[in-house]
Amino acid sequence: MRRPGMGWLLAWAALAGGLAWAVDPTQLADPALQARYEALTHELRCMQCQNESLADSPVDLAADLRREVRDQLVAGKSDEQIRAWMAARYGDFILFRPRYSLRNAWLWGAPGALLLIGALVSWRIVRQRATLVATDHEAIEGDGNS
């Protein structure tokens, strides 16, 4: 039997439980700095977990890197300076959205090149099959007239 108001209680418990499991409770005094902090910690990859952002990673290394981001923001560094510092220290792998450079140009060009190669291969297969259908049709007509 369902009790009235039980749904609200369950929803509130789920919300409170989700807040209790937050990985990063850091709150900066300035709302603009807080927004920049959250954006940066979601853009930077945890070097230990490797598929999680700093904001989502519970490991100590991520906590240290979050603290470093916070300290640099409070010191007045720009977002790009913080990204550059992290990339200089940990390599471009720390960036979820890598910067364009000659070293990683193949990453940016590969999807277009593969798409072009796929289109050319598809076009060639369609042409060859069209030729086969035309010759196969002629052979069937020749058999029917005999």
CA angle 135/141/144 to nearest 5° reads: 145
Residue 10 placed within a domain: no
Q: What is the average per-residue pLDDT within 45-50?
A: 84
Quote the pLDDT of residue 115.
96
Pair (62, 75) in one structural domain:
yes
Pair (33, 85) in one structural domain:
yes
Pair (85, 33) in one structural domain:
yes
Pair (63, 82) in one structural domain:
yes
Pair (37, 94) in one structural domain:
yes
Task: State the DSSP code for 114.
Answer: H
Pair (31, 92) in one structural domain:
yes
Pair (93, 113) in one structural domain:
no
Over the chain, what is the mean pLDDT? Answer: 80
CA angle 64/69/75 to nearest 5° reads: 125
Task: Tell me which of 16-20, 88-92, 117-121 is least confident.
Answer: 16-20
Model confidence at 66, pLDDT cuts 50, 70, 90, reads very high
CATH number of the domain that 58 lies in? 1.10.8.640
Q: Could you list the residue range(s) of the whole structural domain that residue 43 is in? A: 26-99
Residue 11 placed within a domain: no
- pLDDT tens, position by position, 30-42: 888 889 999 999 9
Tell me the helix, strand and coil percentages in the chain, rounded to 5.
70, 5, 30
Distance set, CA 96 to CA 41, 42, 47, 102 (Å): 10, 9, 11, 18
Model confidence at 20, pLDDT cuts 50, 70, 90, reads very low
Q: How many domains does the chain have?
A: 2
Pair (114, 90) in one structural domain:
no
Residue 89: burial class (beta carbons within 10 Å; 0-12, 13-18, 19+):
exposed
Structure tokens at 23: 């990985």
Pair (37, 85) in one structural domain:
yes
Residue 78 placed within a domain: yes
Burial track 22-49 (b if 16+ CB lie within 10 A, e otherwise): ebbebeeeeeeeeebbeebbebbbbbee
Pair (85, 130) in one structural domain:
no
Q: Cα(3)–Cα(103) distance, rounded to whole angstroms?
A: 63
Q: What is the average per-residue pLDDT within 84-100?
A: 85
